[in-house]
Amino acid sequence: MKLLEDAAAKRVDTTSGAFTFIDLFAGIGGLRKGFEHIGGRCVFTSEWDTNSQTTYANNFPDNHKIEGDVREFSKKPSLIPHHDVLLAGLPCQPFSIAGVSKKNALGRPHGFLCDTQGTLFFDTAQIIKHHKPAVFLIENVKNLKSHDEGRTFATMMNVLENELGYHVQSRIISSEAWVPQKRQRIFIVGFKKKSAFDFDKVELPDPESGPKLGSILDSNVDPKYTLTEHLWKYLQGYKAKHAGKGNGFGYSLFGPNDVARTLSQRYYKDGSEILIAQANNRPRRLTPRECARLMGFDRPGKPFILKDVSDTQLYRQFGNAVVVPVVEFVAEALKPFLVEALKEDARPAPKRRAANG
């Protein structure tokens, strides 16, 4: 812990626009990529999943140690280095439509009643309360705003605004202007001091001008990604069965001129939400490399390293990730206001107690 104590006492020069940030519930580093894009320096990372840690470490080779369970640090937030910006990609399963449906079916709690995930918001709040960063950004699924008839979101806003005293705004942004995928996520931005930033006035690109699937698909794909005859027959039967009941459950088939549905962490199971049509053959899953492109992690001149973990784990990682160019866009919109916030917030880093103090 001594290294953390030493790092906590350091602060970069904010007059040049540089700033420090921490990356909580980091996944494979999508939020980090977005804020490094505008000149930020990550000083602390927390991600509990060991496979995600592997992918993160491979893609940030100059990285500090990746810490595990954030709850150990919310108990003693002084162990987290001083930072200007807090980033938190809160686990989405407790609030997502699919996650809530699954938990209801299994008779399990969701939202804040989900002890292992939902309450992690309060751990984040404890860290914000201690460090008082100039700005925070929290990302989650669109359904967070409507979960439990809006009570979940209202509770979060009460904590952030009334208990912690931040000026908070939120906006739901869909990704198809940047990548060929319809993926709606909510971004919650908080400023410690009132800012001229107005999230609602940030002009979004035209989604109709966004790329199509052909831009991320490979022409030669290993046959192992083609569905087996048995699985393809099962998915067709499953879709026909539910079509007869008047609902839309089942697989979705796409071609190079289409925009895909949302990639989910369950994609490894059968790939049914995004199947790629193949001439004279059964459809196939996206490859992990194509998923990396679909999420904006892998782009020309900016390769993303995929190694040391299985395809199953990579599918889960990308299904849980943020779309990198969307985060870059949000970061760019925030940048001038962040610089101003850091000027107003200029203060010496607090002294750290000894790790056993």
SS3 45: strand
Mean pLDDT of the chain: 86
Domain limits for position 300: 213-318
Which comes out higher in pLDDT, residue 225 or 103?
225
Q: For residue 355, is it within any domain?
A: no
Claim to verify: residue 225 and residue 182 sit in the same structural domain: no
* Number of domains forming the structure of the chain: 2
Claim to verify: residue 238 and residue 149 sit in the same structural domain: no
Claim to verify: residue 256 and residue 229 sit in the same structural domain: yes
CA distance 182 to 274: 11
Which comes out higher in pLDDT, residue 135 or 152?
135
Amino acid occupying residue 317:
Q
Which comes out higher in pLDDT, residue 103 or 184?
184
- Please say if the pLDDT value at position 108 is more than 60: no
pLDDT score recorded for residue 250: 83
CA distance 28 to 34: 12
- Please say if the pLDDT value at position 11 is more than 80: no
Claim to verify: residue 136 and residue 226 sit in the same structural domain: no
Claim to verify: residue 65 and residue 184 sit in the same structural domain: yes
Claim to verify: residue 294 and residue 338 sit in the same structural domain: no
347 confidence band (pLDDT: 50, 70, 90)? low
- Please say if the pLDDT value at position 97 is more than 70: no
> Which CATH number fits the domain that encloses residue 108?
3.40.50.150
Q: Examine the residue annotation and report whether 291 is marked as an active-site residue of this protein.
A: no
| DSSP code string of 102-154 | HHHHTT---GGG-TTTTTHHHHHHHHHHHH--SEEEEEEEGGGGTGGGGHHHH
Q: For residue 23, is it within any domain?
A: yes
Q: For residue 224, is it within any domain?
A: yes
Give residues with Cβ within 8 angstroms of 93, minimum separation 6: 99, 114, 117, 265
Amino acid occupying residue 72:
E
- β-sheet with 85-89: strand ranges across: 66-67, 40-46, 19-24, 85-89, 135-141, 184-191, 167-174
pLDDT score recorded for residue 93: 47
Claim to verify: residue 222 and residue 198 sit in the same structural domain: no
> Which CATH number fits the domain that encloses residue 289?
3.90.120.10
Q: For residue 102, is it within any domain?
A: yes
Claim to verify: residue 250 and residue 193 sit in the same structural domain: no
Claim to verify: residue 23 and residue 42 sit in the same structural domain: yes
Claim to verify: residue 98 and residue 19 sit in the same structural domain: yes
**Average pLDDT of the segment spanning 59-85:** 93
% of the chain surpassing 70 pLDDT: 84
pLDDT score recorded for residue 312: 97
Among 243-247, 317-321, 329-333, 339-343, which stretch is predicted with the lowest mean pLDDT? Answer: 243-247
**Average pLDDT of the segment spanning 90-113:** 45
Q: What is the bridge-based pairing of β-strands 167-174 and 184-191?
A: antiparallel
| Bridge partners for 172 per DSSP | 186
**Average pLDDT of the segment spanning 134-161:** 88
